[in-house]
């Protein structure tokens, strides 16, 4: 079974690193460069899970999670936050918005794959 993932991050390097980690493991990866672009990309796909950064231009990760959760089709889609932030209040805010999990950058590709398989598999 191929899991489809949407990765939303304003860093091209980070989007490439996510792809490099997930493609060999059999994932299909769609990318977006900020929350607004993520909402646009989401319109044409049905991801099994979403990965999002928090600090992005135009629409940050919190607003992106809110926007995703407001859409009927994505109310239960797992959302993992992948960010350099580690503050407990930010984690709590992400959970309140509807995030499923939190991974701090730099990430371990094996742990990311396991986390995605756990929440989406």
Counting residues of the chain whose pLDDT is more than 90, the rounded percentage is 93
What are the structural domain ranges in the chain? 4-120
SS (H, E, C) the chain: CCCEEEEECCCHHHHHHHHHHHHHHCCEEEEECCHHHHHHHHCCCCCCEEEECCCCCCCCHHHHHHHHHCCHHHCCCCEEEEECCCCHHHHHHHHHHCCCEEEECCCCHHHHHHHHHHHHC
pLDDT the model gives residue 3: 93
Summarised one tens digit per residue, pLDDT across range 36-79 is 999 999 998 999 999 999 999 999 999 999 999 999 999 999 99
Which fold would CATH assign to domain 4-120?
Answer: Rossmann fold (3.40.50)
pTM of the model: 0.95
Model confidence at 121, pLDDT cuts 50, 70, 90, reads: confident
From residue 55, alpha-carbon distances to 3, 58, 119, 121 in Å are: 26, 10, 23, 27
């Amino acid at each position: 079974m191929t899991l489809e993932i949407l990765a939303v991050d304003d860093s091209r390097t980070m989007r490439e690193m996510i792809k490099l980690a997930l493609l060999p493991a059999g994932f299909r990866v769609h990318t977006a460069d900020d929350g607004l672009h993520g909402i646009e990309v989401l319109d044409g796909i049905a991801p099994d899970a979403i990965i999002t950064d928090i600090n992005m231009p135009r629409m940050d990760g919190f607003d992106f999670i809110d926007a995703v959760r407001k859409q009927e089709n994505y109310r239960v889609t797992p959302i993992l936050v992948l960010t350099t932030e580690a503050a407990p209040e930010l984690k709590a805010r992400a959970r309140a918005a509807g995030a499923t999990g939190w991974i701090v950058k730099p990430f371990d590709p094996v742990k990311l794959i396991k986390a995605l398989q756990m929440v989406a598999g």
